[in-house]
Amino acid sequence: MTSPPIALSIAASDPSGGAGIQADLKAFSANGAYGTAVLTALTAQNTQGVSGIHTVPPAFVTEQLDTLFADVPVDAVKIGMLADAAIAEAVAEALERHRPRYVVLDPVMVSTSGHRLLEADAVTVLRDRLLPLADLITPNLPEAGDLLGTAAARNRAEAIEQAHSLLKTGARRVLLKGGHHTHDAESVDILVDATDASGSGVTELSAPRVNTRNTHGTGCTLSAAIAALRPQHDDWHTTVSAAKAYLTGALRAADTLHIGRGHGPVHHFYQYWS
């Protein structure tokens, strides 16, 4: 038998199961990867918002990572919420030591409910230390603006310009998620690849916008699906396309779950549950 790829999520816990470590492990499993996890923080949250964050000491984040990599051959890493600069630095140092084959960085900064999830001084560490270690970063429009110290892109031209600016900070590839352009009938993500020798390296990935309020964990789920699928595909374009198709299906089925009274989760196992 062929062993499944092993994916690692470095992120925070979400007790409601819709985002963070819990969403990542579900997305790994749904996309054919064996999931492992290193926690950076505990959150008190539900579908209506975040009420508290308790960070894991950076030295223990390091211990988790070193202990895992000493035994388990991790194929792909997804990085989510890091909370503060010290944890971000600890993760960067561990990645430099262990050099996993694929690294997907989702720069989680603000929750859907508006709660700040990344301290301001950590943005600099994220940009200067982690972006150059990532094979792909997956910011949404506000996150891209935050990383660049500017306003969120308002249109396609500005989005492409910001994606190229992020490449100049050291990222190899940028998937700029366009979901915040809620007035558009299509949800268009822009993939910009600095290693593409064919030309501009810009690809637009479009899918029909799903009319649902149950979008909790969409960013976590997409980046985790990409990490799970990359060892199973030949290139980043087909990987991202497959992950986006998976997320679209999970959004379409989200209203069948009825979890919580706020923004409920996407349906990670829509392909398997009747």
Q: Name the residues annotated as catalytic.
A: 177, 215, 217-220
Structure tokens at 92: 């960067």
User: What is the residue type of 204?
Assistant: E
> Using CA atoms, how far apart are residues 12 and 117, in angstroms rounded to an integer?
10
Contact 117, 83 (CB under 8 A): yes
3-state secondary structure at position 191: strand
* DSSP secondary structure of 27-81: HHHHTT-EEEEEEEEEEEEETTEEEEEEEPPHHHHHHHHHHHHTT----EEEE--
3-state secondary structure at position 215: coil
User: What is the residue type of 10?
Assistant: I
> Using CA atoms, how far apart are residues 271 and 267, in angstroms rounded to an integer?
9
Structure tokens at 154: 């308002």
